[in-house]
Amino acid sequence: MSSANKKDVPRDIGENSELTADAKKFDRLFTLYSKIGCGAGENTMSLQGAKLWLEQAKLLDENKGIAETDVEKTFSATDVTGMNKEEFKAWIEDLAKQKDKDPKDLMNKLINSGPPAAGNRSDLISTTRKRIKP
């Protein structure tokens, strides 16, 4: 695989010792969205955080093929209360395949979605796991 193609494969981000710009963006956004809801621990994505990120990326839309119930079903099928980065990437790939979507496209949209909207500040929790009041 050429180095140009590696940038197009978000699933591979983080595998090289030198992180690409997309990998750094993904890591930063994963950390931000993992602070939403009641995850199992630090840098662990909760269902609430995953849904918010998909919504922010404009992927959570029944008309576009991914409904909230799809997200809840696939998330609960993992038998975990939260996912680390690698588990989250694998979950996105599984969700994409189930909904006949391109996993790379979903990951790129997540990477380019930006941080959680300011209106969701009440959902953020501090590193001590206490809710942050707006």
Q: What is the pLDDT of residues 44-63, one digit of tens each?
A: 999 999 999 999 999 998 88
Give the integer Cα–Cα distance in Å for 122 and 131: 7
Q: At what angle do helices 47-56 and 68-76 cross, to 10 degrees?
A: 140
Write the Ramachandran bin of 50: left for phi over 0, alpha for psi from -120 to 50, otherwise beta.
Answer: alpha
User: pLDDT digits over 64-105, tens only?
Assistant: 889 999 999 999 888 778 899 999 999 999 999 999 999 999
Backbone angles phi and psi of 114, in degrees to 5: 85, 175
Q: Read off the pTM.
A: 0.72
Distance from the first to the final alpha carbon of the chain: 46
pLDDT recorded at residue 131: 52
Residue 35 near residue 49 (C-beta atoms within 8 A): yes
